[in-house]
């Protein structure tokens, strides 16, 4: 990631923290993990619609809205002591690498379908090992 993107991501986290803080937004401060779920679903559907309509300026906006809802969920979980941003990001990083041994390891695939099979196999193994 480039420095500018790192700065912007950090700024978004700070914005969500401020929205939930003592001088923040009354609506945002009231939200819970459960109350945010409909917002996430709605934003994901709006992302889907923008993709289907090839409305890329709107897609850009809707992805931003979805990202803010996801960051809000993480912030709420962090406040509750469940997990924090670092745990979410570390977990995602580890999962992306683990599920792509054909990119980050020595597994060889020759087609997109083979890559998907590797991904599904890794996911199945993860579930079995839990």
DSSP string across 88-103:
HHHHHHHHHHHT-HHH
Indicate the burial class of 127 (C-beta count within 10 angstroms; 0-12, 13-18, 19 or more).
Answer: exposed
Query: What pTM value is reported for the model?
Result: 0.89
CATH fold label, 3-83: Helix Hairpins (1.10.287)
Gap between the Cα atoms of 67 and 13, Å rounded: 10
Q: Yes or no: say if 77 and 33 are a contact pair by the CB < 8 Å rule.
A: yes
At 6 the pLDDT is 93
Q: pLDDT (tens digit, 9 = 90+) per residue, 25-49?
A: 999 999 999 999 999 999 999 999 9
Gap between the Cα atoms of 109 and 34, Å rounded: 40
Reply yes or no on whether the pLDDT at 130 is more than 90: no
Q: Which residue has the higher pLDDT, 24 or 127?
A: 24
Q: pLDDT (tens digit, 9 = 90+) per residue, 76-119?
A: 999 999 999 999 999 999 999 999 999 999 999 999 999 999 99
Reply yes or no on whether the pLDDT at 1 is more than 80: no
């Amino acid at each position: 990631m480039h420095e500018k993107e790192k700065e912007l991501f950090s700024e978004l986290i700070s914005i969500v923290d401020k929205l939930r803080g003592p001088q923040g937004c009354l609506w945002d401060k009231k939200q819970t993990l459960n109350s945010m779920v409909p917002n996430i679903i709605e934003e994901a559907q709006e992302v889907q619609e923008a993709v289907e309509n090839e409305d890329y300026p709107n897609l850009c906006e809707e992805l931003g809205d979805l990202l803010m809802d996801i960051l809000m969920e993480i912030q709420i979980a962090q406040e509750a002591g469940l997990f924090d941003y670092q745990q979410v990001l570390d977990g995602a990083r580890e999962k992306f690498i683990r599920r792509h041994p054909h990119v980050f390891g020595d597994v060889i695939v020759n087609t997109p379908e083979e890559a998907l099979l590797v991904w599904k196999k890794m996911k199945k193994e993860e579930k079995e090992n839990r």
